[in-house]
């Protein structure tokens, strides 16, 4: 999924629906090309360390803690949640080119 391609809500649902919520924390992030990623946060690594390991990171969302229901099929089925994330992605992507530092998003629209 790439923000430069005007992704749909269904695109975001597919991205979230492929993940498992039970065993790992996850980070939603966007790289400088506009590609949207949701990656596992390796055990023992802080979100800040994750950010340092990904120099192309332009936007990082609050960490989705395991078991919180923020990724997986139930999250993908939550239309209000997906719509909020989709809107936040689009709004922060519009601003990302003007920012020198990566944006951190801890709340949705």
Q: How far apart, in whole angstroms, are the C-alpha atoms of residue 99 and residue 104?
A: 11
With a cut of 80, say whether residue 109 has pLDDT above it: no
Sign of the dihedral through C-alpha 66, 40, 16, 47: positive
Q: What is the pLDDT of residue 5?
A: 96
With a cut of 80, say whether residue 97 has pLDDT above it: no
pLDDT digits (tens, 9 = 90+) for 33-58: 999 999 999 988 999 999 999 999 99
For the chain, give the percent of residues with pLDDT over 70.
Answer: 99
């Amino acid at each position: 999924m790439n923000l430069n391609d005007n992704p749909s809500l269904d695109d975001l649902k597919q991205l979230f629906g492929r993940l498992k919520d039970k065993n790992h924390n996850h980070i939603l992030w966007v790289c400088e090309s506009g590609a949207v990623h949701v990656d596992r946060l390796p055990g023992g690594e802080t979100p800040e360390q994750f950010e340092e390991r990904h120099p192309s990171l332009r936007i990082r969302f609050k960490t989705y803690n395991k078991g919180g229901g923020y990724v997986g099929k139930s999250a993908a089925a939550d239309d209000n949640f997906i719509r909020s994330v989709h809107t936040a992605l689009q709004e922060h992507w519009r601003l990302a080119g003007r920012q020198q530092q990566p944006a951190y998003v801890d709340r949705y629209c």
